[in-house]
Amino acid sequence: MEYIIPLDSRIAVLCGGMSSERDVSLRSGKNVLGALHRLGYKNAEIVDVSSNVAEDLKGFEYAYNTLHGKYGEDGCIQGILEILKIPYTGCGVMASAICMNKEYTKRVLSTCKDVPLIKSVFVQKGEDVFKAVEGLNYPLITKPVSEGSSFGMTKVNEPEELEKAYEEATKFNDDVLIEEFIDGFFVTVGVLGEKGKEFATEILEIRTKTEWYDFDAKYTKGLSEFIVPATGLSKEATEKVKKIAVKAHQTAGCSGVSRVDFMIKDDKPYFLEINTNPGMTDTSDLPAQANVCGIDYDNLVLMILNSAGLNK
């Protein structure tokens, strides 16, 4: 893998932060720091992001963003880095802000006829949730509109369960996305590369021991089986998922790295969301996907680091 960022550069590995995904981010940051040191970037350091981040970043030349959730994936830290003129990894302000909001991601992608979206409603604070879902078929999934790692998500099998699920989602965001539940299996595909030359990784299929791919299934070893390359799709569906993933990445204005999630039912993909800052923990999807493509963890970190020098 080509080195674009000079080895003597001072690199801030941004992690921790102030979101509900803080612990996951710390794990990502620790792993990335180890990789950077192995790659020869001895001046890379952890920066646990707080409200004093502008002060904490003084003297750093690049930022490797491993923040997840609010302030880290929503354009906030990206805006600060733009003001400070510090090149950073991954997606920019606009793409980060759009993709952090599941509803606005779907609105942007609705302009692409080739991206299959799940039927859903967007419920804002003060609206009648029961009236809002009248056109949907149960079971449903309630989601905070701007959270990750499945925080605040609930499967709703009957109308009697809706109010409690909706209230759980509003603990994280005032606005809630409610989708029809797709009774299939979960797949995810990474998108890497500089603008105009993006490519999809192999597709990772996830079979869980839980009812659906919730927080426990994502971050507890043994609760999910990673199958990569995916075996549950036909060759045609596999190519379609990869094509849609790259198209969604480009349409949303993403750069450097993203991970696009789908549900598969009857060999048909249904778009779920774009993650603009995928996890880099021991159990995260993107490293597993890249590894099957011949990109080991350290070279994946280097590829993402290079996006700080290529995509801005």
Catalytic residue among 19, 31, 43, 149: 149
What is the spatial distance between Cα 46 and Cα 288, in angstroms, rounded to a whole number? 24
Catalytic residue among 148, 213, 279, 297: 279
Catalytic residue among 224, 275, 277, 307: 275
- The residues pairing with 193 across neighbouring beta strands, listed in sequence order, are 256
User: Which residue, among 129, 128, 181, has the nearest Cα to 153 in the 3D structure?
Assistant: 181
Give the distance from CA 309 to its chain's centroid: 21
What is the spatial distance between Cα 121 and Cα 134, in angstroms, rounded to a whole number? 10
Residue 27 designated active-site: no
| Burial (CB count <10 Å: 0-12, 13-18, 19+), residue 1 | middle
In the block, tokens 């959730």 appear at 69
Retrieve residue 120's tokens. 């859903």
Residue 138 designated active-site: no
Retrieve residue 166's tokens. 């909706």
What is the spatial distance between Cα 63 and Cα 290, in angstroms, rounded to a whole number? 22
Residue 107 designated active-site: no
**Secondary structure (H, E, C), 16-38:** CCCCCCHHHHHHHHHHHHHHHHH
What is the spatial distance between Cα 163 and Cα 156, in angstroms, rounded to a whole number? 9
Residue 216 designated active-site: no
Please tell me whether residue 50 adopts helix, strand or coil conformation.
coil
Catalytic residue among 219, 224, 270, 311: 219
Catalytic residue among 22, 147, 256, 259: 259
Residue 52 designated active-site: no
Given a contact cutoff of 8 angstroms between Cβ atoms, the answer to whether 54 and 77 are in contact is no
Residue 219 designated active-site: yes
Retrieve residue 286's tokens. 């993107």
Catalytic residue among 16, 17, 19, 21: 21
Cite the active site residues: 21, 149, 219, 259, 261, 273, 275, 279
